[in-house]
Amino acid sequence: MQMRLATTADKAQVLDMAQARCDWLERNGLESWRDAVDDLVAQCDNPAGDVWVLVDDEHGVVGQMVVQDQGPPWGWTAAERAEAALYLSGSITDPAFRGRKPGTAMAWWAVDRAARLGLPWVRRHCHFLGVARYNQTQGFELVRTEQRTHTRLYMMARRAERLDLSPWFGAEASVRSGTL
């Protein structure tokens, strides 16, 4: 597998993946964001270069994540916003690959990338307690909750560090992806 910037050519696979994830959420009695699928797909055209895809050599796109160097103005203190960090949002993975932990692969890739870039933090937020708990299994800590108008956000952070990504990206991870 490899992480690379998303392109317009990825849109069809991202659409299939997003629909599969919504189907999975709904089958499992969880809230779906089906109404946001078109926005997720459109992110492949983002000229800012902050939308990344996880690509399996055999199956194509199995994950998508937004990785930015600035977080939202809400949810983080002024001191936290002043610290350099990567900010993750909009992560989505193909449920057919759950056993391979693509969400963990993407999160750990970002933690390793931040360390390689000399950044001390990776921060993220999510809308659901269950997702926050899942993010904690990846080493993220809950910093605080933020009540927005109609939703509660879980603000999370993890110190950047070099990680062994070989279970996902092979022994030559930095050479294969060219983007680490």
Q: Tell me what pLDDT residue 145 has.
A: 92
Range of the domain at 121: 2-169
Residue 157 lies in a domain: yes
Prediction pTM value: 0.89
Q: Tell me what pLDDT residue 171 has.
A: 66
Residue 26 lies in a domain: yes
Residue 176 lies in a domain: no
- The mean per-residue pLDDT over the stretch 114-138 comes to 93
| Contacts of 6 by beta carbon, 8 Å cutoff, 6+ apart | 14, 43, 44, 46, 51, 52, 53, 64
Residue 24 lies in a domain: yes
Residue 175 lies in a domain: no
**Lowest-pLDDT choice from 16-20, 68-72, 75-79:** 68-72
Residue 180 lies in a domain: no
Q: What does the DSSP 8-state code read for residue 31? A: P
Mean pLDDT across the chain? 88
Overall domain count for the chain: 1
User: What is the CATH number for 84?
Assistant: 3.40.630.30
pLDDT digits (tens, 9 = 90+) for 168-179: 888 655 434 445
Rounded Cα distance between 94 and 13, Å, is 10
Residue 60 lies in a domain: yes
- The mean per-residue pLDDT over the stretch 103-107 comes to 94
Residue 37 lies in a domain: yes
pLDDT digits (tens, 9 = 90+) for 2-57: 999 999 999 999 999 999 998 998 898 888 888 888 888 888 888 777 999 999 98
